[in-house]
Amino acid sequence: MLKKIVKIFIVLLILALVLGGIWYFFILDDSGRDDVGQNTRNLFPFGEVSDSGQSSSGGQFTIGDDGEPIETDEIIDDGIDPDQNVPRLRKVSTFPTGGFVPLTKVEEQEILDIEIDEDGESVQVLKKVPVENDYIRYTAISDGTVYESAVTDFELTETKLVNNYVPNAEHVYFSPTGTYAAFQYWNSDDHTAETYLGELRPIELDIKPCPFEFRALEDGEDDIDVIGIHSFLNRSPQTRVSQEGTNSPGNEGSAVTEETRTAIKNFQSLYQLEIDGQIGDATKEQMLEVCDEQQRQAAIEVYNNLDEKYTLTGSFLSQDIASISMSPNLPEQMFYLVSNENGSQGTLRNLETDEPTIIFQSPFSEWLSQFTSENSIELVTKPSYGASGYSYELTPDTGRYFKKTDATVGLTLLVSPSGEYAIGSRSTGDGVETFIRDRINNTEHLLTLQTFADKCVWSKDGNEVYCGVPNSLAFEGEYPDSWYLGKELYNDGIWKISIPNFEETYEFNITDVYAPGIDIEKIMIDEDDDYLYFLDKETEHLWSLRLSSV
């Protein structure tokens, strides 16, 4: 009897081990842990996949050519460059940010180059070459103070440009060069929207001319010019006239002495001139060149120690400006709409000449504007799930406008740089549909992902559009109002839609590298399509995402 029990126990033990092995290899993940929160890379971690391209909880994913969802391990980026430990996602500002603009500056950079001299020998030469550098300029909501960060693949370096005193500057609109900025805030005393248009100008280097008079000196002469020459020579330890006493730094005398001649000879030796202790033409020219460079370096030091590198001047515009958009082209222009009980009035303002021209009038007051190109402004009615929306194309030169989109409930829209395509969304009563409209051929492509045009930005060539796409949409039938009103916040992923094949690609999973997630708004792209910049709607902090490889 005992042997039979032992056999049964052994059989049960073997069976348990087998079942445990099956559980280990087929149920747990690679690490052998079943901690869903730490190890699951599924884009839709809760709920089952439906035919619509969403999980039952609202998560979104890519559909493959065979109609099946692509495995998430194939499309999630871990946020780190595979070849170098360089993060793709970075927080730019640690404070609520009202507005920003990506900038590309051409700056001189010193490099060592190899040249062949007249004897055929290779020599190293220090050259200054023009280099394009990336920057992002942005403002603090608290007071409108303007900051700028130099952007490289490896670091962000922040500089305060100018203090500002605009209270609660919630919305700031920069011109493409960052020279002009419209600061908007709510005047609680007058119960109206105020707009301050400012011009930012860099403080120039104040390089003083060389203060010394270089000339030939006579032995034994006593003159005020000699004090200056002694002061110049004492600037460098290698040409110092005296270490202590008379003619030491700060105690320069006016008489030419043997020490004076020795210091001049040391200068000539340092710069490979004829060593005769005299200030001839060649020595004078070299002294002026050295002095000018010293003056320039002194000016740079003073500049670098400035608390503010820019000045800000400007004036207030009309009250009740409801919509502002900056021209993406030069000359720099701004279009803004003043809305009140009488309707809307649209003004085009040349920012360089400060000349305003009224180009639009409408009895309807609820408009949004997008300056798509030098010759086109898109006007879209403010979206709501309870109202039909329309869009019109306004030509600034003529003031004529034409309907571009028929009645669409809850319409949000973003037009490509060429005006050929537009990405938009509409309310369906039980959710949102996102689409791309071919405005030339008058056709429409319905996307599988669901988002709003406010979360999207076109690449500069218009061949791609990048969007923040929510992981779920919970308030059925109330879009986009529920997001605008802050009833729900999202954890967005970054998607790319390619034109003209409308391929949808999951570009970056934010929560993989930043667990709290980001609800993207006010998204922009830099000139070379290397970086995306966007605000987190919840914290209003500014973030950057590198698109290109290091």
pLDDT in tens, 281-336: 999 999 999 999 999 999 999 998 888 899 999 999 999 999 999 999 888 999 99
DSSP three-state, residue 221: coil
The pLDDT value recorded for residue 16 is: 52
Residues 6+ apart with CB under 8 A from 437: 405, 421, 422, 423, 424, 443, 444
Q: What's the sign of the alpha-carbon dihedral 400, 402, 407, 411?
A: negative
pLDDT tens, position by position, for the chain (550 residues)?
A: 444 444 544 444 445 554 454 444 333 343 332 332 222 222 222 222 233 333 322 333 333 333 343 333 333 334 444 545 688 999 999 999 999 999 999 888 878 888 887 777 887 877 888 889 999 999 999 999 999 999 999 899 999 999 999 999 999 999 999 999 999 999 888 788 999 999 999 999 999 999 999 999 999 899 999 999 999 999 999 999 999 999 999 999 999 999 999 999 999 999 999 999 999 999 999 999 999 999 999 999 999 888 889 999 999 999 999 999 999 988 899 999 999 888 999 999 999 999 999 999 999 888 999 999 889 999 999 999 989 999 999 999 999 999 999 899 999 999 999 999 999 999 988 889 999 999 999 999 999 999 999 999 999 999 999 999 999 887 667 899 999 988 889 999 999 999 999 999 999 999 999 999 999 999 999 999 999 999 999 999 999 999 987 6
Give the residue from 101, 127, 87 showing the smallest Cα distance to 182: 101
Which residue is associated with the tokens 């029990």? 5
Give the residue from 524, 487, 536 showing the smallest Cα distance to 151: 524
Residues 6+ apart with CB under 8 A from 37: none
Q: What tokens were used for 39?
A: 């190890």
The pLDDT value recorded for residue 85 is: 66
Query: Taking a C-beta distance cutoff of 8 angstroms, is the pair 391, 383 a contact?
Result: no
**pTM for the whole structure:** 0.76
C-alpha distances out from residue 230 to 244, 260, 293, Å: 13, 7, 18
Write out pLDDT tens, residues 169-207.
999 999 999 999 999 999 888 788 999 999 999 999 999
514-520 CB contacts, 8 Å cutoff, 24+ apart? 514/89, 517/471, 517/490, 517/491, 517/492, 518/468, 518/491, 518/492, 518/543, 519/468, 519/470, 519/489, 519/490, 519/491, 519/492, 520/455, 520/468, 520/490, 520/492
Q: What tokens were used for 312?
A: 């800000």
The Cβ of residue 350 has, within 10 Å, a number of other Cβ atoms equal to: 14
